[in-house]
Structure formats: structure tokens, C-alpha cells
Structure 1
Amino acid sequence: MVNHFNEFANLCFERFGNRVKYWITFNNPWAHSKVWHTYDTQWRAKQKGLIGISLSGDWGEPVDISNQKDIEAAERYVQFYLGWFATPIFHGDYPQVMKDFIGKKSGQQGLGTSRLPTFSSQEKSYIKGTCDFLGIGHFTTRYITQKNNPSGRSGSSYFTDRDLAELVDPRWPDPGSEWLYSVPWGFRRLLNFVKTQYGNPMIYVTENGVSEKMLCTELCDDWRIQYYKDYINEMLKDPLTSHMEMVTEIVVPTVCTLSILLSAIFLMFLLRRRN
């Protein structure tokens, strides 16, 4: 299938490459790097385009930010979700936590090797760096806590390998779809994660949106408008990676500005009294 897809993609480059300059190989992938190399070697110099991929990724927030187990579980949630494909593309191999946990589960099941495939050194170098931009499809967030899932053969799956449980806050706005809650701050944290993990790549938001709460005979998009507004506003904020940075970059300048403003007002008041 990889070769068939590569042939199809090469035909698209040949026929449409003089007009199309941004290519997304897959929206949620299974074969990508070969097409990137085909474009890079045969078409990039002539067509001056970029090749990327679109990956889905929800954010995982620890239930208890003081609990190391929950922090690690939340990290696994994102690594198993977005990192499964992004980390090989940017770093040449699966996330270490995936290799550790799937390897452990495979051993508990009596398997001689991990159920997660192993890249050869040639495959690692071939895959690494095959992304001119990263497309991200993001919709919602989950609270994550540590949970030891069974590792029997009948119960082994992508979900049980992670050893975690997903929770939602009942106060989060519910648009009507059972899986989709409006959690704008999670979007910003996911973008910061991508920036930190993958060297600040160019990002295109390729998927984002929300279902409607009710059936309408007329236009009733207030909920959707609010969802987009909240998520776009989070995207537009300065990228902060910690609460301490928020204090130093936002709170401190704000306090200084207010102090200067109050001092100026007080000085004007004194001058008026003297006059």
C-alpha cells in the first residue's frame, strides 16, 4: 500500500504541483515518509511547495497536578495520541513511554517481542525530519488519572496499554456530542506541548469545530460562534510554558504599568492642588 499511495501522490504532484504548494499526505495517517521523500527529491526544487501531515490530538490534563502518577499518565495520554505519529516524524522513533509500556504489557502476555514495531536505524533516519509543517486536528480535553489496566491477551489494546482513565469536568460546556466538551485552555497547552517537544514547527490547525446542541429550523449558531471565539483566543495568546513564566511575563509587567499609571495620577493630583 505504501508504494501504491506513493505512486498516486507522485501523479498528483505532476498534475497539480504547479498550482498546489501545500500538501497534506494524510489526515490521521498510516503511510507518510515515502511521499515526503518523493516530493523532496523530484518536485520541491521545481514547484517550491511544502509537505506536511495532519494529526489528531486532544489534550490530557492531570487530575491531581501534585500527584506524579497523574502527571505521568497525562503525558502518556498525549504521547499515545499525538506522539504516536508525530514523534517518529520529528525524532525518528516512537515515544519512549510507548515503547516502555507496550513492551511491558507484551511481556506480561508472554510474548517474546513487543507488539509495537521496532524501527531499524535506516528507517529512523528515513522517517526523521519528513515534515515541513504539522497539521493539528484538535477538539477537546480530558482529565487523566493513573489506572492499572489488565494485560491479558483478550484485554490487550491501544487503550489498555496506556494504564490511565479519562475523566471530564461536569462544569465543562457540553455541546451535545458525548465526546466533545469545550475546553479552550487545553488547546493552548497542546500547542505549547508541540512547540516544546518538536522544536517549534510551523503549525496549521486543520480540524477544529463543534456540533450543535439542538436541531434548528433557523440559524442558531451562537454556541458554535462562542466555541470558535474561545479556541481562537487561546491560540492567539503568547506561548507560555509555565505558571512562573506567566507571572514574570504578564503579572509583573501589568503591576509595573499600573504602578506607573497610579504614580502619574497621584502626581497630577498634587500639581493641581498646588495650582
Structure 2
Amino acid sequence: MISYFNDYANLCFEKFGDRVKYWITFNNPWTHAKVWHSYNKTWRSKQQGMVGISLTSAWGEPVDLTSQKDIEAAERYVQFYLGWFANPIYSGDYPEVMKNYVGKKSAQQGLGTSRLPTFSVQEKSYIKGTSDFLGLSHFTTRYIIQKNYSALKGPSYHTDRDLVELVDPKWPNPGSKWLYSVPWGFRRLLNFIKTQYGNPLIYITENGVSEKLQCIQLCDEWRIEYLKGYINEMLKDPLTTHMEMVTEIVVPTVFTLCILISAILLMFLLRKHN
């Protein structure tokens, strides 16, 4: 199928490449590297366009920011979601955590090799760097906690990850049961991509929210709020993000430490007094 798709893509480049300058090989892909190489070799110098890919990913936030297990589970959630396809493009291979967990579960299930395919050295070199931009589809966020699943449950993408997805009942929930409005998760996902993949050019290819009510006239204030929240998070500068981190993580941590130190000092004073 890769060769057939490559032929189809080359026909598109030939017929429309003089006008179309941005190409997305797949939306939620399985394979696409050959098409990028075809464009790079045959069409780029003539048409001066770009070829990328569009990946969907939610953000995973640890339930307990003081729990190393929850922190690691939240990163696993994103690596299994986004990294599954982004990591080979930017690093040449699947995420290490994905290889480790799928390999471990495969061994526990009595399999001689991992259920996750292995790239050859040539494939790694061929795939790495085959994207001029990253198309990103993002809608919502989940809280994540660590949970160990038995390998006896059988092979499953969901149990391989050893985690549980949760939502905050306070999050606004529009028309779809899975979609909650969590704008700050969008910003954190963008920062993750910037750090993880070397600050690639990003185009938001999908974002939005489903209908909540059937109306005979315009009544989409909730949609306006959703889009406003997500666009504002995208527009924030690095200083704002840093200040958010200070407000949400550093300040509570320092406050907790101050309470603990005060309690310890009070205990010493009471003992000394007695």
C-alpha cells in the first residue's frame, strides 16, 4: 500500500503542486515517510512547498504532582498517544517508555518478541526528519494516575500503559461525553512538543467542540468560551507559562514546606518547654 499511496501523492503533487504549498500525508497516520522523500527529491525545488503530518493528542496531567508514579504515568499517556507516531519522525524510533512497557507485557504474555515492531537501522534513518511541520489536532485533557494491569488480561494498547484516565467533574462538558474544556492542557501539550521535538513548526489542524444543545437560533456561547480559552492559551508567551508554573507548582510546594517546618519547630519548642 505504501507504493500505491506514493503514486497517488505524486499525482497530486504533479497536478496541484503549483498552487498547493502545504501537504498533510495522513490525519492520524500509520505510515508516510516515502511520500516526504518523493516530494523532497522530485517536487520541492520546483514547487517550494512543505509536507507534514497531522497527529491527534490529548494532554495528560498527573493527579498528584508530588507522586513520581503519577508523573511518569502522565508522560507515558502522552508518549503512547502522541509519541507513538511523532517520536519516529523526530527521533527515528518509538519512545523508549513505549518499547519498555510493550516489551515487558509481551514477555509476560509468553511472546518471544515484543508486539511493538522494531525499526531497522536503515528504517530509522529513512523515517527521521520526514516532516516539514507538525499538524496537531487537540481537543481535551485527562488526569492520569498509575495503575498496574495484569498481562493476563491479554494484549491491549490501553493495559500496556499501566494507567487510568480521569476527568474533573468541574470541567465544562459540551456535547460529546469524552470532550471536556480544559484550555490549560493545550498550552502544556504545546510546551511538551516544543521541548521534546526541538521546537518544530506547528499547525493546529483540528480543534473545536461539538454541539451541546439543539437550537433554532444561534446559541453557542459555550463554543465561543471554548475557542477563546484555547486560543488564549496558544497565544501566551513563555514568561506567562513560567509564572503559571510558579503559581501552580512552586508556590504551593513552598507553602507546604513552610507549614511542615513550622510544625517541627513548634514540636521542639513544646518539648523544650515541657
What does residue 62 of structure 1 align with?
A: 62
Q: Say how many residue pairs are matched.
A: 247
Letter in 1 for 2:89: I
Name the SS for the 2:110 alignment partner: coil
Name the SS for the 1:25 alignment partner: strand
What does residue 86 of structure 1 align with?
A: 86
Partner deviation per Cα, 1:9-56 (whole Å, 9 max, x = no partner): 010000000000000001100121000000000000000000000000
Distance in 2 (alpha carbons) for counterparts of 1:205 and 1:190: 12
Stretches of structure 1 that go unaligned for 5 or more consecutive residues are 249-275
Letter in 2 for 1:239: P
Distance in 2 (alpha carbons) for counterparts of 1:34 and 1:216: 47
Distance in 1 (alpha carbons) for counterparts of 2:217 and 2:70: 45
What does residue 51 of structure 1 align with?
A: 51
Scaled by the length of structure 1, the TM-score of the pair is 0.87
1:112 and 2:125 correspond: no
What does residue 40 of structure 1 align with?
A: 40
Distance in 2 (alpha carbons) for counterparts of 1:197 and 1:93: 14
Distance in 1 (alpha carbons) for counterparts of 2:6 and 2:156: 30
Distance change in 2, residues 1:101/1:247 (3 Å):
closer
Preserved contact between residue 92 and residue 128 of structure 2 (Cα < 8 Å): yes
Q: CA deviation at 1:136?
A: 0.2
Q: CA deviation at 1:238?
A: 1.0
Q: CA deviation at 1:245?
A: 8.2
Name the SS for the 2:238 alignment partner: coil
What are the within-5 Å matches in structure 2 for residues 215-226 of structure 1?
Answer: 215-226=214-225
What does residue 137 of structure 1 align with?
A: 137
Letter in 2 for 1:203: I
Name the SS for the 1:43 alignment partner: helix
Stretches of structure 2 that go unaligned for 5 or more consecutive residues are 248-274
Distance change in 2, residues 1:135/1:214 (3 Å):
same
Q: CA deviation at 1:217?
A: 1.1
Letter in 2 for 1:191: L
What does residue 197 of structure 1 align with?
A: 196
Greater alpha carbon shift after TM alignment, 210-219 vs 229-238: 210-219
What does residue 271 of structure 2 align with?
A: none
Q: Percent identity?
A: 76
1:121 and 2:115 correspond: no
1:100 and 2:91 correspond: no
Q: CA deviation at 1:149?
A: 1.1
Partner deviation per Cα, 1:126-165 (whole Å, 9 max, x = no partner): 000001000000000000000011212x532111100000
Name the SS for the 1:206 alignment partner: strand
Q: CA deviation at 1:219?
A: 1.1
Preserved contact between residue 144 and residue 167 of structure 1 (Cα < 8 Å): yes
